[in-house]
Amino acid sequence: MKKNILVVDDEIGALTLIGIMLERGGFSVMKAKDADTALATLDQNEPDLIILDVMMPGTNGIDLCKIIRKRQDTHSTPVLILSARGDADSVMQGMEAGANDYLPKPILHHDLVAKVRAILASSSNS
C-alpha cells in the first residue's frame, strides 16, 4: 500500500513541485496551503508523514508542528520540516517543536524521497 504524505506549504509552486517529487517516489500526496487546511485534512485523514514549510501566513510551520504533536491522533506521526531558513536557530526550533527532521530548501528530488523513506522506515520500526 502506498504511504500517504501530507504536504503543507503556502507557495503553490513549492506544493506542486514537492507533490510531484513524492508521487514519482511512489507516495500518495495530500496538500494543504496553510495550517487551518492542514488541521482540517488531519481531522479526516491519518497521513504516514507530514511535511511542513516554516514560513506561512497565520500559523507558521513550527507552531503547526507543536499543534500536531499535542493532538492524540498525530502525536507520533513523523514530521519533516522543509524550509528556506536553514540556519541553526531555525533547525533547533523545528526539532524542539517535535519535528523528526529538518531539510533546507531548495530540495533535490532524490534527497527528499530518500529522507522521507528513511523517516518512514525508522518510524515503522519503533
Domain that holds residue 97: 4-125
Query: Rounded CA gap, 88 and 33, in Å?
Result: 25
Do the strands 28-32 and 49-53 form a parallel or antiparallel pair, or are they unpaired? unpaired
Q: What's the Rg (C-alpha) of the chain? A: 13
For residue 64, give the C-alpha cell. 503547526
For residue 3, give the C-alpha cell. 504511504
Kindly report the pTM of this predicted structure: 0.94
Mean pLDDT (whole number) for 33-58: 96
Domain count, the chain: 1
pLDDT attached to residue 125: 65
CATH code at position 32:
3.40.50.2300
pLDDT attached to residue 97: 97
pLDDT attached to residue 108: 87
